[in-house]
């Protein structure tokens, strides 16, 4: 979905600049071990061409608060739990204000309480009109997180079940139930 790998057949077409409108959250945290929490999140701004320290701070600081990481901003990945690392990765994916968040097995390495926290945070962004796409193998996941579910098997769409829209929200439904 993120075009990180070429399709095995066919082609993928997207609007010009669409890649910059996508935030990615993977099962592996992909944090840089030589950078602290703040620097790992801010790096996404710099990659997108935002260099002003003031603007970076205006983007990173609210996410530190929302993700419950404010007291950890000077810690390095080796000092964090798996759940904390995934919240840093989520903040990094959201710092550029993407229109789409793609989450590939975002809770595969997390215990149930940390997984619930990640899903809760992603749901908040869905409610703010960010399309959240989640790929997961967890069969019971859709019962716990109702929404649109597109079931794939061997790369083929087997079913597409619309879910209820979030109450009071015009946000698109998410694939996988967020």
Q: What is the pLDDT of residues 53-102, one digit of tens each?
A: 999 999 999 999 999 999 999 999 999 999 999 999 999 999 999 999 99
Q: Is pLDDT above 70 for 169?
A: no
**Inside any domain, residue 73:** yes
* Strands 22-26 and 156-161, bridge-based pairing: unpaired
pLDDT band at 164 (very low <50, low <70, confident <90, very high): low
Q: Which of 170, 169, 123, 113 minimizes the C-alpha distance to 146?
A: 123
Q: What are the beta bridge partners of residue 153?
A: 156
Q: Is the pTM of this model over 0.75?
A: yes
**Inside any domain, residue 76:** yes
**Inside any domain, residue 83:** yes
For the stretch 10-41, pLDDT in tens is 887 777 777 778 899 988 899 999 999 999 99
Distance, CA of 98 to CA of 112 (rounded, Å): 27
Q: Which of 105, 167, 108 minimizes the C-alpha distance to 133?
A: 105
Q: Is pLDDT above 80 for 119?
A: yes
pLDDT given at position 84 = 95
**Inside any domain, residue 44:** yes
Q: Is the CB of residue 85 less than 8 Å from the CB of residue 36?
A: no
**Inside any domain, residue 48:** yes
Residue 104 CB neighbours (<10 A) = 17
**Inside any domain, residue 14:** no
Domain assignment of residue 50, given as a range: 21-132
**Inside any domain, residue 107:** yes
**Inside any domain, residue 69:** yes
For the stretch 123-147, pLDDT in tens is 887 777 888 888 887 766 677 767 7
CATH classification at residue 70: 3.40.50.300
Structural domain count of the chain:
1
Q: Is pLDDT above 70 for 120?
A: yes
User: How is residue 2 annotated by DSSP?
Assistant: -
More confident of the two residues 65 and 112? 65
Show the tokens assigned to 1.
Answer: 């979905």
């Amino acid at each position: 979905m993120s075009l990180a790998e070429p399709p095995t057949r066919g082609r993928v077409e997207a609007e010009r600049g669409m890649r910059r409108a996508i935030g990615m959250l993977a099962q592996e945290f992909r944090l840089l071990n030589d950078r602290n929490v703040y620097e790992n999140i801010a790096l996404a701004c710099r990659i997108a061409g935002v260099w002003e320290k003031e603007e970076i701070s205006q983007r990173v600081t609210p996410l530190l608060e929302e993700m419950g990481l404010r007291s950890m901003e000077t810690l390095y990945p080796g000092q964090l739990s798996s759940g904390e690392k995934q919240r840093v990765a989520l903040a990094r994916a959201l710092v550029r204000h993407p229109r789409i968040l793609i989450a590939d097995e975002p809770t595969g390495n997390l215990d149930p309480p940390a997984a619930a926290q990640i899903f809760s945070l992603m749901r908040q962004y869905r409610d703010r009109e960010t399309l959240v796409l989640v790929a997961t193998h967890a069969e019971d996941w859709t019962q716990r997180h109702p929404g649109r579910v597109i079931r794939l098997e061997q790369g083929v769409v087997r079913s597409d079940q619309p879910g209820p829209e979030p109450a009071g929200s015009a946000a698109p439904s998410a694939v996988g139930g967020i």
